[in-house]
């Protein structure tokens, strides 16, 4: 067992972990960020995708100790107002700590543009794949301001959705790209 710290959505989380503890287990079972889902544990479905220092990883495929000291963003970090206070985290699971969005009076404009676009375009059904889709698309769209629909499909090739047929997910990504990278009008001469 070893003591390690991860910064998750801006909060330091310190815990004693086994050498075999997965990053996914640290995020869900130690820190209580249960928005990151376990769909296969075999690096196939993409449900567990998170950012580590700005790069997307499948957190079921990384040991927690491999990323000790680094900064992780999960789906909860996309809409920070949804995250419950975490000051007292030590080694306990805080599953269930998150307040429902409605209870906070949050609106679409409080969400990340991708979350709002998923809502608007009906891009989820059961929602199990959605956290991974959101994280992968956020990472992709930040670097690719004008994707084609084919580009978006390639970007989510490592993420499996069992419900939607992907059409509305691509719709949402195209919509979010416009919000994240608005076309700026050329400056007028005077």
Give the residue, chosen from 6, 23, 26, 39, that forms a contact with ligand FES under the rule CB under 6 A: 39
Of 101 and 127, the one with the shorter C-beta distance to ligand FES is: 127
C-alpha dist (Å) from residue 54 to 73, 116, 140, 175: 8, 21, 11, 22
Least Cβ distance, residue 75 to ligand FES (angstroms): 13
Q: Which is nearer to ligand FES, 58 or 82 (CB)?
A: 58
Q: Rule CB under 6 A: say whether 15 interacts with ligand FES.
A: no
Q: How far apart are CA 71 and CA 52, in angstroms?
A: 6
137-140 long-range Cβ contacts below 8 angstroms, 24+ apart: 137/173, 137/176, 138/51, 138/78, 138/112, 138/114, 139/51, 139/54, 139/55, 139/56
Q: State which of residues 8, 57, 161, 180 lies at the interface with ligand FES (CB under 6 A).
A: 161
The CB-of-130 to ligand FES minimum distance in angstroms stands at: 6
Beta carbon of residue 184, minimum distance to ligand FES (angstroms, whole number): 34
Q: How many residues bind ligand FES (CB under 6 A)?
A: 22
Using the rule CB under 6 A, is 126 a contact of ligand FES?
yes
Number of other residues whose CB lies within 10 A of the CB of residue 12? 13
Site for ligand FES in 96-125 (CB under 6 A): 124-125
Question: How far is C-alpha 182 from the geometric centre of its chain's CA atoms?
Answer: 22
CA Rg value for the chain: 17
> In this chain, which of 127, 144, 178, 181 binds ligand FES, going by CB under 6 A?
127
7 is a site residue for ligand FES (CB under 6 A): no
Looking at residue 42, the DSSP 8-state letter turns out to be: S
Taking the C-alpha atoms of residue 172 and residue 97, their distance in angstroms, rounded to an integer, is: 28
Q: Which residues contact ligand FES by CB under 6 A?
A: 38-41, 43-48, 58, 60, 124-129, 161-164
């Amino acid at each position: 067992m070893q003591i390690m710290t991860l910064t998750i959505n801006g909060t330091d989380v310190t815990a004693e972990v086994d050498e075999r503890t997965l990053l996914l287990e640290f995020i869900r079972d130690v820190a209580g960020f249960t928005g990151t889902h376990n769909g296969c544990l075999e690096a196939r479905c993409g449900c567990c995708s998170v950012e580590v220092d700005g790069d997307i990883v499948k957190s079921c495929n990384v040991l927690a100790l491999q990323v000790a000291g680094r900064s992780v963003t999960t789906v909860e970090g996309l809409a920070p107002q949804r995250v419950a206070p975490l000051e007292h985290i030590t080694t306990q699971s805080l599953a269930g700590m998150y307040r429902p969005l409605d209870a906070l009076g949050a609106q679409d404009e409080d969400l990340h543009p991708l979350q709002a676009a998923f809502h608007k375009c009906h891009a989820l059904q059961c929602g199990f794949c959605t956290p991974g889709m959101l994280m992968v698309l956020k990472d992709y769209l930040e670097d690719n301001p004008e994707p084609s629909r084919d580009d978006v499909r390639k970007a989510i090739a490592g993420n499996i959705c069992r419900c939607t047929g992907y059409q509305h997910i691509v719709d949402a990504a195209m919509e979010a790209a416009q919000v994240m990278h608005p076309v700026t009008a050329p400056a007028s001469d005077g």
